[in-house]
Amino acid sequence: MKRKELAKIIEQIAPLKLQAPWDNCGFNISLHDDIKKILVSLDLSEGILSEAASLGCDTVVTHHPVLFHQMKTVDIGHPIHKLVLKTVNLGLNVYCAHTSFDSSPSGTDAVLADILGIRNPEVLIREQSSPVFRFEIRNDPSNYDKIIGIAGTEIIDRSGDTIVFTHHDNSIVSQVFSGSTILSMKLENKYQSYGIGMIGDFEADPSSAVKTVKEKLGIDHVITNRAEPTVRRAACIGGSGGSYIKEAHEAGADLLITGEAKYNDYLDSESMGMMLIVTGHFDSEKAFIGTMVRHLQKNTCMIESIEGVYASRNISAPYKYM
């Protein structure tokens, strides 16, 4: 598989157009074009590099970017430069799907809402929305799994040689379904939204909300504020979402669950009568690994040159509770 093909598959669930202007999603390190074994992790670290090398991987897919700042000099004494040099020595490509994944309808916050059991979730802070098209296509049935994999969508109906599916890009047919007969293509009466955070129904009292969050994320500790509302609506934002308390409050949330918050976020949420549960950055985002591995395995299983997609076993938060 070529780098371009891997990027295309990743970008089905982490479109580059969704990344924040300050971010650096995509291939941070490109060293070769033939990809056979992929390791998925949250970060790049010396431990991840050793794991990739021991598995014989040639490419690492991470959530957090390796390179944020322009490198004007290369200094082995700088921890990031040292890490990049070691990555180059091992011959590893590195692709990073950060805010491109955070803002995706199948990304960080949607996955977190699903894990936490937030029902009827909607995007909290809408940044973009795309129309959804409904297609009915006729083709050789043996081609469907492959072309649906490339299109990055799910079949919603299938009978004989005809399939029905939805997609936000109406040029998808000419891109991947050449040779197909288009039976119908119409704009569905809905739009798919992208943005920061999710909000939905989540009924709990403060102590049961804490219990649920700990159980669902498999953690022993959270930090909460002093407000104790009856919770009916909860918002969640993976990573550093404490600064979005005002938006969550205005959207009707009684509770914001996020990975990180500042001192003032606890005070502000208390003054709004809103509960804040802070899980730790790592635990709010660790589901990236399983989500990306399942997506890559599903979409590369038909590609002969791919020998394996692995979830890192060497992951832990870069901080600990004592």
**Interface contacts to Fe ion, rule CB under 5 A:** 239, 285
The residue written with tokens 């918050």 in the block is 261
Q: To the nearest whole angstrom, how small is the minimum distance from the Cβ of residue 257 to Fe ion? A: 15
In whole angstroms, what is the distance from residue 77 CA to residue 321 CA? 29
The distance of closest approach from Cβ of residue 186 to Fe ion in the complex, given in angstroms and rounded to an integer, is: 39
> What is the identity of the amino acid at 249?
H
Nearer to Fe ion, 51 or 285 (CB): 285
121 or 239: CB nearest Fe ion: 239
Q: Tokens 């509960």 sit at which residue? A: 275
Compute the least distance from the CB of residue 239 to Fe ion, in Å: 4
Rounded to whole angstroms, the Cα distance separating 259 from 100 reads: 18
What is the C-alpha separation between 41 and 187, in angstroms, rounded? 37
For Fe ion, the closer of residues 225 and 258 by Cβ is: 258
Question: Distance (Å, rounded) from C-alpha 76 to C-alpha 56?
Answer: 25
Neighbouring-strand partners of residue 210: none
Rounded to a whole number of angstroms, the minimum distance from the CB of residue 20 to Fe ion is 12
Closest residue to Fe ion in the complex (CB): 239
Q: Sheet containing 26-29: give its strands across.
A: 26-29, 93-96, 59-62, 37-41, 308-311
The distance of closest approach from Cβ of residue 102 to Fe ion in the complex, given in angstroms and rounded to an integer, is 8
Between 60 and 151, whose beta carbon lies closer to Fe ion? 60
Pick the closer one to Fe ion by CB: 10 or 163: 10
Residue linked to tokens 């009916």: 232
